[in-house]
Amino acid sequence: MPPPRTFADVEYDGQPRQTRRERFLQRMDTLMPWARLEARIRPVYPTGARGRPPYPLALLLRIHCVQLFYNLSDPAMEDALYDSVAVQRFVGLTARGPRPDETTILHFRHLLERHQLGEGLLAEITQHLAAQGLRLREGTIVDATILDAPASTKNRAQARDPEMHQVKKGNQWYFGMKAHIGVDAATGLVHSVAATPANVADITQVPQLLHGAETRVWGDAGYAGVARRPEHQGRAIDWQVALRPGQRRRLAPGSAAAQAEQRKASIRAKVEHPFLYVKRHFGYAHVRYRGLAKNRTRLCLLFGLANLLLADRAAPA
């Protein structure tokens, strides 16, 4: 049941134009499978049988999603509940109603992390899209990206995050983690997510990125030799792995081999779209939390949100 309308709501309705934030929140409100997500969380959500009754699950889930949309900290999210009418309307708050404080917002995030619900929420979004006809097919694209972590030791522990690591890519060093994803080759939607320190080789995470029904897998040159690894022996998979840059430069222009590499690259391009949404649209190019588990929970839901936007963009007008 929506909250009662106030004079402030009436005045807000009469404003001359909608902001980009309003339009985006309205779009996400339509795309999100709220009922499915709430049903996945409800078994572990406090019932209020003892002590003070908790805030409604729907309210805190929507607040958590706004945090992900705009990469807000817990204090910044609390402030947005007071100073943004668009956010208030999206989460279902009245102008003068009580608001969760930053500690309540933090506890809800910890609830998702403690019960490892990130993967479950991603699965619910995948099933929601499958019901609309966007089902997983026979092909998967695998790839990974580096997310920077703070390298400073100016903190209480006087140390860097022990679960992060440094790695050299090209001529530059990075410190942080890797987000590995498996993407459906037909729809471009993420179905699997893994999180590792930045120095872990991409090829070692392939088993966690396959849904099991693949007949063909695409990957860049970092996955060379994947077919010979023992964990893939006996799998009937056509591995479409790109040649290394030096090998590709030796191909004759226009040859069959060069054209085959071009086709591989055109298919693999789909895997970059979810990374674009997570790192640029949602602003998660740098990790916000210490530890891999917390960041993995956040990444799973971020890639689920990216799936919804990608599916909406691909839908016919």
Q: What is the pTM of this model?
A: 0.90
Checking if the pLDDT of 11 tops 60, the result is no
Above 90 in pLDDT, residue 163? Answer: yes
pLDDT tens digits, one per residue of 277-299? 999 999 999 998 999 999 999 99
Which segment, 52-56, 116-120, 152-156, is predicted with the most confidence on average? 116-120
Q: Is 253 helix (H, G, I), strand (E, B) or coil?
A: coil
Model pLDDT, residue 301:
97
User: What average pLDDT does the segment 235-263 reach?
Assistant: 92
For 139-157, what is each residue's pLDDT tens digit?
Answer: 999 999 999 998 877 777 7
Average pLDDT over every residue of 303-313: 95
pLDDT at 18: 85
CA dist 100 to 110, 133, 147, 185, Å?
A: 15, 38, 30, 41
- Check residue 37 and give its pLDDT: 97
The ranges assigned to domains in the chain are: 7-115, 136-314
Helix H or strand E segment including 179: strand 172-184
Cα–Cα distances (Å) from 178 to 99, 200, 281, in that order, read 35, 8, 18
Asked if residues 284 and 251 have their Cβ atoms less than 8 Å apart, the reply is no
Q: Does the pLDDT of residue 39 top 90, yes or no?
A: yes
Q: Cα–Cα–Cα angle for 297, 224, 135, nearest 5°?
A: 50
316 pLDDT above the threshold of 90: no
For residue 8, is pLDDT > 60? no
The whole-chain average pLDDT of the chain stands at 90
Instruction: Give the pairing of strands 238-241 and 216-219.
Output: parallel
pLDDT value of position 13: 59
pLDDT at 17: 75
Q: For residue range 254-267, what is the model confidence (pLDDT) as tens digits?
A: 999 999 999 999 99
Q: Is 136-314 a domain of CATH 3.30.420.10? A: yes
H or E, element range at 231: none
pLDDT at 6 over 60: no
pLDDT score recorded for residue 3: 57
Question: pLDDT (tens digit, 9 = 90+) per residue, 207-216?
Answer: 999 998 889 9
Helix 20-31 with 57-70: angle, nearest 10 deg: 130
What is the Cα–Cα distance from 80 to 58, expressed in whole angstroms? 17
Residue 286 is classified by DSSP as: B
Determine the Cα–Cα distance for residues 303 and 193; give it in Å rounded to an integer.
8
pLDDT of residue 155: 73
In this structure, how many other beta carbons lie within 10 angstroms of the beta carbon of residue 126?
22
Q: Which residues contact 103 (CB under 8 A, 6 or more apart)?
A: 74
Neighbours of 253 (CB within 10 A): 6
Q: What are phi and psi of 214, to 5 degrees?
A: -70, 145
**What share of the chain has pLDDT > 90, as a percent?**
75
User: Looking at beta carbons, which pairs linking 217-224 to residues 24 or more positions away fall under 8 Å?
Assistant: 217/139, 217/140, 217/141, 217/142, 218/139, 218/140, 218/141, 218/142, 218/185, 218/264, 218/267, 218/268, 219/141, 219/142, 219/143, 219/268, 220/143, 220/268, 221/245, 222/144, 223/142
